[in-house]
């Protein structure tokens, strides 16, 4: 059970046009969002008006982010590089955290540590790094001919990568820079630390040539759901984004990851777990359903059929989209979630169009459609029953989906006393309720 004094945390998952596959076709969406910086400024300021903890931008170093045969019908193929975007947004915001993805498979620890430490200083302690190992082979093809590492090895590499980055972020004590004009001493040599790391994957000398930030280190975020991912989260992450459609599954994940933390000397509250949450809200349930259906109708059959075929391991392209779902041969590649879709199609006599709309609408995330009270009821239930410390809000389309959530749902959550009415501090750690990490060198000195 969550502490009754705790407040729900909220992240804003940034996606240029929105997360729904058909979002860019919505009449109220910003179709050119991927190249429209003022649109991102508006989005960031709206999220800050809603007292969100952070903006979170996922990323992939490839344009091949969807089924190749329907790629020309998707909007998520070209967008402003997230790190550059967040540095720019730091100047247009005051409180909200700025978190983006960088891959341990295609980056170097020193360069990454330097960039994120700089973002943290520029923003006054609002930076965060989302660690990914990148499983997309199309991304690997953009970085040379070396084969993409197997998943287990990518996680081993990621552990060492994260340890090197955190070691570099400890290069300077908080009070290292004395800048004494009279004595001519700019910094105290005893408070500069050379990492001198030699490991299985990296050799990094250090120190980092960026000073320590107001929050000590940028916040570490992660989204892995596999056993390797959960272990890495328990060991290193401070925020975990995850995907669950049902409360019981979310609670099981929450308990499992937090239950692994003690062996690493960490307390359960040192990590915030925030499942993805898609919301369509309106003053009445019928209005909300109508808004949802209007988005569903914007899924072009080409992309709907392509997504469904890929996920189910069966080619639906030769069948009429408004005809019944044909028998799908059983296969050991199909997941339990796909098996459930097949059962639903047979039970409810769904057409192919209805089935791909059903699949594409949530893509594994908690999805709510209804009035502000309906939405707040279920968010509060997940929070109070220990299935989530908060949510990573996934706007179906932008900017309208975010505007509606901030204007209708946030006040309802505040009335229930589960969400903040003001920012608690000036840094991302302050607002998330996370400790400032103690430098590894300070720990050694104490020992």
Provide the pLDDT for residue 18.
85
pLDDT tens profile 8-45 = 999 999 988 888 888 888 888 888 888 999 999 999 99
pLDDT of 429 higher than 90: yes
SS3 55: strand
- In this predicted structure, which of 142-156, 177-191, 213-227, 279-293 has the lowest mean pLDDT? 142-156
Distance CA 419, CA 410 (A): 8
- Give CA 431 to chain center in angstroms: 17
pTM summary value: 0.90
Bond before 114 cis per omega within 30 degrees: no
**What is the rounded CA–CA span in Å between residue 129 and residue 146?**
26
- Residue 30 has a pLDDT of 84
pLDDT score, position 12: 97
pLDDT, mean of residues 253-276: 96
DSSP secondary structure code for residue 279 in this structure: E
> What integer pLDDT is reported at residue 25 of this predicted model?
86
User: Which of 162-176, 305-319, 409-423 has the lowest average pLDDT?
Assistant: 305-319
Residue 255, pLDDT score: 97
**What is the pLDDT at residue 332?**
41
- pLDDT, tens only, 156-207: 999 999 999 999 999 999 999 999 999 999 999 999 999 999 999 999 999 9
CB 76 within 8 A of CB 16: yes
So what's the pLDDT on residue 289?
A: 96
Query: What does DSSP assign to residue 324?
Result: B
420 pLDDT higher than 60:
yes
pLDDT at 363: 67
Given this model, what pLDDT does residue 446 score? 55
Indicate left, alpha or beta for 339 from its phi (over 0: left) and psi (-120 to 50: alpha): alpha
pLDDT at 43: 96
pLDDT score at 419: 98
Section 364-369 average pLDDT: 88
Mean pLDDT of 349-377: 88
> Residue 184 has what pLDDT?
97
pLDDT at 242: 92
* pLDDT confidence tier of residue 3, bands split at 50, 70 and 90: very low
Mean pLDDT over 397-422 rounds to 97
Residue with tokens 């490839």: 62
> What structural domains does the chain harbor?
9-283+371-446 (3.20.20.30), 294-361 (no CATH)
pLDDT at 299 over 70: yes
Q: Give the pLDDT confidence score for residue 2 in this predicted structure.
A: 43
Q: What is the pLDDT of residue 343?
A: 77
What does the pLDDT read at residue 378?
Answer: 98
Percent of the chain with pLDDT over 70: 93
**What DSSP state is assigned to residue 271?**
S
Give the phi and the psi of residue 179 in degrees, each rounded to 5.
50, 50
Selection from 134-138, 198-202, 362-366 with the highest mean pLDDT: 198-202
Higher pLDDT, 19 or 83: 83
Confidence of residue 303 (pLDDT cuts 50, 70, 90): confident
Is 447 a residue whose pLDDT tops 80? Answer: no
Interval 59-75: pLDDT, tens: 777 766 666 777 787 77
pLDDT at 287: 97
Over the Cα atoms of the chain, what is R_g?
Answer: 23
Q: Which of 120, 81, 80 is nearest to 98 (CA)?
A: 120
Res. 442: pLDDT tops 90: no
Residue 73: predicted pLDDT:
79
Mean pLDDT, rounded, of the chain: 89
DSSP label of 304:
H
Whether the pLDDT of residue 105 is over 70: the answer is: yes
Backbone dihedral region for residue 51 (phi beyond 0: left; psi -120 to 50: alpha; all else: beta) = left
Predicted confidence at residue 132, as pLDDT, reads 87
């Amino acid at each position: 059970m969550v502490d009754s004094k705790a407040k729900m945390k909220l992240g804003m998952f940034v996606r240029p046009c929105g997360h729904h596959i058909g979002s860019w076709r919505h009449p109220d969406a910003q179709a050119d969002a991927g190249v429209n910086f003022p649109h991102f400024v508006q989005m960031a300021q709206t999220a800050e008006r809603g007292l969100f903890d952070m903006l979170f931008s996922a990323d992939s170093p490839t344009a091949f982010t969807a089924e190749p045969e329907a790629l020309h019908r998707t909007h998520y193929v070209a967008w402003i590089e997230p790190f550059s975007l967040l540095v720019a947004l730091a100047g247009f915001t005051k409180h909200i955290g700025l978190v983006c993805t960088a891959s341990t498979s295609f980056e170097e620890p020193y360069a990454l540590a330097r960039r994120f430490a700089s973002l943290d200083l520029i923003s006054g302690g609002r930076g965060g790094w989302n660690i990914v190992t990148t499983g997309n082979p199309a991304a690997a093809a953009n970085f040379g001919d070396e084969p993409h590492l197997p998943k287990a090895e990518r996680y081993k590499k990621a552990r060492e990568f994260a340890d090197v980055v955190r070691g570099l972020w400890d290069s300077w004590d908080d009070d290292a820079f004395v800048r004494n004009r009279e004595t001519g001493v700019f910094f105290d040599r005893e408070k500069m630390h050379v990492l001198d790391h030699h490991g299985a994957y990296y050799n990094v000398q250090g120190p980092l040539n960026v000073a320590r930030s107001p929050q000590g280190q940028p916040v570490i975020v992660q989204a892995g759901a596999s056993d390797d991912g959960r272990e890495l989260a328990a060991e290193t992450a401070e925020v975990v984004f995850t995907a669950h459609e049902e409360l019981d599954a979310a609670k099981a994940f929450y308990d499992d990851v937090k239950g692994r933390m003690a062996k690493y000397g960490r307390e359960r509250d040192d990590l915030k777990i925030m499942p993805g949450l898609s919301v369509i809200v309106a003053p009445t349930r019928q209005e909300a359903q109508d808004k949802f259906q209007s988005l569903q109708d914007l899924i072009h059959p080409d992309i709907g059929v392509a997504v469904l075929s890929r996920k189910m391991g069966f080619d639906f392209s030769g069948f009429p989209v408004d005809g019944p779902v044909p028998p799908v041969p059983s296969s050991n590649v199909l997941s339990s979630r796909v098996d459930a879709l097949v059962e639903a199609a047979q039970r409810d006599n769904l057409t192919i169009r209805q089935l791909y709309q059903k699949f594409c609408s949530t893509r594994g995330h908690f999805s709510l459609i209804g009035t502000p009270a309906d939405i707040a009821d279920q968010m509060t239930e997940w929070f109070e029953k220990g299935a989530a410390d908060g949510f990573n809000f996934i706007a179906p389309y932008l900017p309208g989906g975010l505007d509606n959530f901030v204007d209708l749902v946030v006040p309802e959550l505040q009335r229930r006393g589960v969400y903040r009415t003001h920012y608690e501090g000036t840094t991302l750690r302050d607002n998330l309720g996370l400790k400032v990490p103690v430098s590894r060198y300070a720990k050694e000195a104490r020992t």
